[in-house]
């Protein structure tokens, strides 16, 4: 039994050869991908049009497959074309060779300027590439290469796919491909040679023809003619005397000098280096045949001046340093700094204040006498007033970040009214320098949430930008900001309005810093009006509301109206003479009139017009005109009212948060309504004081005429009379208007508690400005800087008129408006905007560089000038531009001259070093060759030599079909490459 059981156990060790191997699975996956992409069978397309490889659309689709655990990516590259008629396709399906084989002989698209390398080498419109998926993976061993090639061959045979299939071998940087294309009874093998050093016999046409013929191995004795296309590329790097036209900014002028401080309002523009690094001239001989020309190791007919086709491309400098881009970028970097102004300029002001009075003479008394704990006055005033002292004490005047000349120039630019003996009374902004762009300019600052281009905020942003770049960097910025805050406080304390700000309440379309400065101006305006009011005789005529019959319509008037109706300066603030400058001295009403007001209030509640009428009218502005009080027929007087408090967006947000926190309960809603009706209550009190014996109906007729409805009715005597009543919303029990009216006391505006406490608001603004870190400041002003940069780019573009730049500028404006309109935009998005602006600046700089090099301005003939300008604009926008007339055209002559000048300079400096052995040999030849050598010396040795050899011969036997053969060769300083496509008839082989 034991002997019998041993053979039985061996049965389980039998290897099953029917299971698929990894190699077979790989082939199956390749076939599956080809089937999924529907690349089976012949897809005959239209003959390729000239230039379609560059102008057409290329697409690709990818998939991933694996050979065991090694991953490959399969990519299908194809030129998008209209599909051909299916019936015509079926007719020729039998005998036609694959489309790719036909493309090998097509001469319409040799040397495309921008295409996949396989397209350039083989002229294919469609192909599939299998390459290692990871960038660092490579198929290096010969056996693996052959295995992959075998897999491709089997997959193509099994599926009937006629699209060429390539495999990438060796390291990816070498761009080495082998491949195959199969058709009915035909096959093309794609092979490649890549060498670092080229053998001497292959540097010219005759040697390459020898390789081509030996590779084809054509059995026919009279070999069919070989079609040749040649391209030599010459590189111009040395522009010789063509200096880069960008002038460096005049730093001396920025301090003052001839142009004065206005230079601070201008942003620099242009590239610091030449943005065009090289010019590549490609001279092409597209249709040559063997025997027409001679090109061997001792002589060549290939003279670039005689080439029928010239084309030019320019190589742009990588990320050229651009002034405007650097300006904005450096300013943006401040946003990431954490230091406060005090940390940048020296020790904290609080530390210094306690030590200023410290002296060695007090040392003993400090030991013996108890000293009180110093409590510093932590006021904004103390902080800012010690700024100058602190800088001078610890650094010395000469060491301060900004010298006095620069600082004075900037301050004079920001505050032009300081130059006159008396600062300007008004807040009139300077006129816009570009009136036609007014609407566009408005849209820009509105979109970017920056500030008008003639405003103080905008100028401050430009000055800080310039200081940051030229005068002291971050320390200079902190120093200027300290001086700016000191100037703001000085103006507040001395009633000098801030120039360069539009009058009126803060404009919420602008940045927050601009709103804060406008708020400070409002405070100065109110304070100034109040102080002037004390100097004039007391009167109740204050023109802070309008006269007319239309009524107030429920709208509160802004500070604009104060100035609109302010014809006589003596009238301003006359009724505010009892007001003082400090917040603590304001109160609801004077104590000696409290009783009187109480009586009036009670009378008002009872509705007794007699008691109300006994009060003395106060705070009247002027008579309304035709309206009279309903109950006693007295003329209705318009009262002097308080203006509503101007608010910045952060205050509005704060207020809305407070109101939202009150909740949705009835009590919360009631409290919210009372908070919002402070202005209404103030106006009611003013109205009661001006019109003793009035009722709510009288107030509504003036304040909100739409809420008083008048109808014609017939009275008892049969006469038509007007009868009026309050609107439905006013009759709702316990509505806010009724409640406010009952609460209101007859107090004139001059004795009411201020709705807008300018002293407190001004101190809040000044404190806000003083505690801003340079980073916060930069974030506030960045929209203004971007706004200025966009305007600068638009201004420069208008001089050059580049259509592509116009589109990019529109995109920048659209992108910026989306990013900047919301608070705290992301750094990455801001960087994108700055990068886009720098790109536009570089494009404009390139256009100017090319115009300078080609001398477009020097052209005397208008037609030539237009052609040259068109040529330059094409160079900017297209990868390669054809030179009309080649070397004999106007542009060609200029290019030739550029090369001649560069060559003369090179030869004079080191003639021997620039000569190749072939040139030395030519120089030793007779007079005819000497003349030719002088011409050839106009150009340097070609940086790249490309040749395409094509023919159709029967392979491998004389009776085989004549099939396309092609070989591409490129020779540069770095490497030498041969890419061959050799077809053979497989019907009997």
Give pLDDT tens digits for 568-597: 333 333 333 333 343 333 443 333 333 334
For CA atoms 248, 253, 259, 263, the dihedral sign is: positive
CB 238 within 8 A of CB 907: no
Residues 557, 545: Cα–Cα separation, whole Å = 7
In the structure encoding, which two tokens stand for residue 847, read together?
Answer: 């256009």
Which of 755, 784, 807 represents a domain boundary (last residue)? 755
CB 128 within 8 A of CB 147: no
Residues 936, 932: Cα–Cα separation, whole Å = 6
Residues 770, 775: Cα–Cα separation, whole Å = 13
3-state helix/strand/coil string of 205-256: HHHHHHHHHHHHCCCCCCCCCCEEEEEEEEEECCCCCCCCCCCCCCHHHHHC
For CA atoms 66, 68, 71, 76, the dihedral sign is: negative
Q: CA triplet 868, 858, 841: central angle to 5 degrees?
A: 65
Give pLDDT tens digits for 732-748: 777 778 888 887 888 88
In the structure encoding, which two tokens stand for residue 425, read together?
Answer: 């009374």
**Is 661 a domain residue?**
yes
φ and ψ of 48, to 5 deg: -70, 130
Q: Can you give the pLDDT at residue 192?
A: 95
Closest alpha carbon to 979 in 159, 127, 58, 160 = 127
Q: Can you give the pLDDT at residue 613?
A: 52
Mean pLDDT for 772-799 is 89
Residues 107, 280: Cα–Cα separation, whole Å = 22
φ and ψ of 515, to 5 deg: -60, -40
Range of the domain at 737: 647-755
CB 600 within 8 A of CB 592: no
Give pLDDT tens digits for 376-397: 444 444 444 444 444 444 444 4
In the structure encoding, which two tokens stand for residue 342, read together?
Answer: 């005090």
Give pLDDT tens digits for 209-230: 999 998 888 777 678 889 999 9
| The residue to which tokens 């919360």 are assigned | 668
Question: Is the pTM for the entire model greater than 0.75?
Answer: no
**Is 371 a domain residue?**
no
**Is 570 a domain residue?**
no
**Is 419 a domain residue?**
no
**Is 735 a domain residue?**
yes
Residues 973, 691: Cα–Cα separation, whole Å = 99
Examine the pLDDT at 275 and tell me if it is beyond 90. no
Among 486-500, 611-625, 637-651, 882-896, which is the least confidently predicted range? 611-625
Neighbours of 696 (CB within 10 A): 21
Q: Which residue blocks in 244-356 are alpha helix, DSSP H?
A: 251-255, 323-334, 341-345, 349-355
Examine the pLDDT at 895 and tell me if it is beyond 70. yes
Do β-strands 126-132 and 165-169 pair in parallel, antiparallel, or remain unpaired? parallel
> What is the DSSP secondary-structure string of 23-61?
HHHHHHHHHHHHHHTT-BB----PPPPTTHHHHS-EEEE
Q: Can you give the pLDDT at residue 261?
A: 36
Please indicate whether residue 519 or residue 864 has the higher confidence score (pLDDT): 519
In the structure encoding, which two tokens stand for residue 285, read together?
Answer: 């001989």
**Is 874 a domain residue?**
no
Among 411-420, 470-479, 862-871, 912-921, which is the least confidently predicted range? 912-921
Three-class secondary structure of residue 405 per DSSP: helix
In the structure encoding, which two tokens stand for residue 679, read together?
Answer: 């202005």
What residues contact residue 794 under an 8 Å CB cut-off, 6+ apart? 809
Q: Tell me the pLDDT band of 977, cut-offs 50, 70 and 90.
A: very high
**Is 198 a domain residue?**
yes
Q: Helix 758-770 crosses helix 512-535 at what angle (to 10 degrees)?
A: 140
Residues 872, 879: Cα–Cα separation, whole Å = 12
Q: Can you give the pLDDT at residue 549?
A: 37
Distance of CA 350 to the CA centre of its chain: 42
Average pLDDT of every residue of the chain: 76
Closest alpha carbon to 677 in 727, 740, 738, 749 = 740
| The residue to which tokens 């304070």 are assigned | 527
- Total domain count for the chain? 2
Give pLDDT tens digits for 602-657: 333 434 444 455 677 877 888 877 787 877 778 888 888 877 778 887 787 777 77
Examine the pLDDT at 911 and tell me if it is beyond 60. no
CB 116 within 8 A of CB 131: no
Closest alpha carbon to 498 in 511, 479, 478, 514 = 514
Helices (H) and strands (E) in the chain, counts: 35, 17
Please indicate whether residue 968 or residue 664 has the higher confidence score (pLDDT): 968
CB 261 within 8 A of CB 405: no
**Is 29 a domain residue?**
yes
Q: Tell me the pLDDT band of 12, cut-offs 50, 70 and 90.
A: low
Which of 692, 726, 755 represents a domain boundary (last residue)? 755
Which of 720, 755, 790 represents a domain boundary (last residue)? 755
């Amino acid at each position: 039994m034991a002997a019998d059981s041993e053979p039985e156990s061996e049965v389980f060790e039998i290897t099953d050869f029917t299971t698929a191997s990894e190699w077979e699975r790989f082939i199956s996956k390749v076939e599956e991908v080809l089937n999924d992409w529907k690349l089976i069978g012949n897809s005959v397309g239209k003959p390729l049009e000239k230039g379609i490889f560059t102008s057409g659309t290329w697409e690709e689709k990818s998939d991933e497959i694996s050979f065991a655990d090694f991953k490959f990516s399969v990519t299908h590259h194809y030129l998008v074309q209209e599909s051909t008629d299916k019936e015509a396709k079926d007719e020729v399906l039998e005998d036609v060779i694959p489309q790719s084989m036909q493309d090998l002989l097509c001469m319409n698209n040799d040397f495309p300027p921008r295409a996949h390398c396989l397209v350039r080498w083989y002229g294919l419109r469609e192909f599939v590439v299998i390459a290692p998926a990871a960038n660092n993976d490579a198929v290096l061993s010969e056996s693996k290469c052959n295995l992959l090639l075998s897999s491709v061959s089997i997959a193509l045979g099994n599926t009937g796919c006629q699209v060429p299939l390539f495999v990438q071998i060796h390291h990816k940087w070498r761009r080495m491909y082998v491949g195959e294309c199969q058709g009915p009874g035909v096959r093309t093998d794609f092979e490649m040679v890549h060498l670092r050093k080229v053998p001497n016999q292959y540097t010219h046409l005759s040697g390459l023809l020898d390789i081509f013929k030996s590779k084809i191995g054509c059995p026919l004795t009279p070999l069919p003619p070989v079609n040749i296309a040649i391209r030599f590329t010459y590189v111009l790097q040395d522009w010789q005397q063509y200096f880069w036209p960008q002038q460096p900014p005049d730093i001396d002028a920025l301090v003052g000098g001839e142009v004065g401080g206005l230079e601070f309002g201008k942003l620099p523009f242009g590239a610091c280096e030449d943005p065009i690094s090289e010019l590549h001239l490609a001279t092409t001989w597209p249709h040559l045949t063997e025997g027409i020309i001679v090109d061997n190791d001792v002589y060549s007919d290939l003279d670039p001046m005689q080439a029928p086709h010239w084309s030019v491309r320019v190589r742009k400098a990588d990320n050229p340093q651009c002034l405007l881009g650097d300006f904005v970028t450096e300013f943006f970097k401040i946003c990431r700094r954490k230091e406060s102004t005090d940390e940048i300029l020296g020790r904290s002001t609080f530390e210094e204040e306690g030590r200023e009075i410290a002296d060695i003479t007090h040392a003993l008394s400090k030991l013996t006498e108890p000293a009180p704990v110093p409590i510093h006055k932590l006021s904004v005033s103390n902080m800012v007033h010690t700024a100058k002292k602190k800088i001078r004490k610890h650094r010395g005047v000469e060491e301060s970040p900004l010298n006095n000349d620069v600082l004075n120039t900037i301050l004079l630019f920001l505050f032009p009214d300081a130059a006159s003996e008396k600062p300007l009374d008004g807040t009139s902004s300077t006129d816009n320098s570009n009136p036609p762009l007014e609407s566009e300019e408005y849209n820009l600052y509105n979109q970017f949430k920056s500030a008008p281009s003639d405003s103080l905020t905008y100028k401050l942003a430009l000055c800080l930008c310039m200081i940051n770049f030229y005068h002291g960097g971050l320390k200079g910025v902190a120093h200027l900001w300290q001086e700016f805050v000191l100037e703001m406080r000085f103006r507040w304390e001395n009633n000098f309005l801030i120039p360069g700000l539009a009058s009126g309440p803060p404009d919420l379309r602008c940045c927050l810093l601009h709103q804060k400065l406008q708020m400070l101006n409002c405070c100065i305006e109110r304070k100034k009006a109040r102080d002037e009011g004390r100097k004039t005789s007391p009167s109740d005529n204050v023109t802070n509301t309008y006269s007319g019959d239309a009524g107030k319509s429920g709208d509160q008037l802004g500070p604009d109206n104060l100035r609109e109706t302010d014809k006589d300066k003596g009238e301003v603030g006359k009724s505010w003479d009892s007001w003082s400058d400090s917040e603590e001295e304001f109160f609801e009403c004077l104590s000696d009139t409290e009783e009187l007001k109480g009586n009036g209030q009670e009378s008002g509640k009872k509705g007794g017009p007699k008691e109300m009428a006994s009060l003395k009218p106060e705070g009247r502005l002027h008579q309304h005109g035709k309206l009279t009080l309903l109950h006693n027929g007295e003329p209705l007087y318009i009262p002097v009212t308080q203006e509503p408090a101007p608010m910045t967006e952060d205050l509005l947000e704060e207020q809305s948060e407070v109101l939202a926190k009150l909740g949705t309960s009835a009590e919360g809603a009631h409290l919210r309504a009372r908070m919002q009706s402070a202005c209404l209550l103030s106006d009611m009190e003013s109205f009661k004081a001006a019109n003793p014996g009035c009722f709510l109906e009288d107030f509504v007729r003036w304040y909100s005429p739409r809420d008083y409805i008048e109808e014609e009715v017939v009275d008892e005597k049969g006469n038509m009379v007007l009868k009026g009543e309050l609107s439905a919303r006013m009759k709702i029990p316990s509505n806010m208007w009724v409640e406010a009216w009952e609460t209101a006391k007859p107090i004139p505006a001059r004795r009411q508690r201020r709705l807008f406490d300018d002293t407190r608001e001004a101190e809040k603004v000044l404190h806000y400005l003083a505690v801003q870190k340079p980073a916060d400041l930069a974030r506030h002003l960045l929209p203004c800087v971007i706004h200025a940069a966009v305007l600068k780019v638009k201004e420069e573009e208008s001089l050059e008129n580049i259509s592509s730049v116009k589109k990019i500028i529109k995109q920048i404006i659209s992108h910026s408006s989306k990013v900047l309109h919301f608070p705290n935009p992301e750094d990455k998005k801001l960087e994108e905007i700055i990068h886009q602006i720098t790109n536009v600046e570089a494009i404009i700089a390139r256009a100017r560089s090319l115009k300078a090099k080609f001398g477009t301005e020097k052209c005397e003939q208008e037609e030539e000038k237009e052609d040259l300008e068109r040529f330059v604009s094409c160079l900017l926008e297209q990868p390669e531009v054809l030179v009309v007339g080649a070397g004999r055209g106007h542009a060609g002559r200029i290019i030739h001259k550029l090369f001649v000048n560069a060559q003369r300079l090179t030869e004079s400096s080191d003639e021997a070093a620039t000569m190749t052995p072939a040139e030395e040999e030519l120089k030793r030849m007779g007079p005819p060759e000497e003349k030719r050598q002088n011409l050839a010396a106009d150009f340097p040795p070609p940086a790249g030599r490309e040749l395409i050899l094509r023919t159709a011969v029967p392979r491998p036997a004389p009776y085989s079909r004549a099939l396309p053969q092609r070989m591409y060769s490129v020779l540069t300083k770095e490497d030498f490459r041969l890419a061959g496509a050799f077809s053979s008839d497989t019907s009997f082989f």
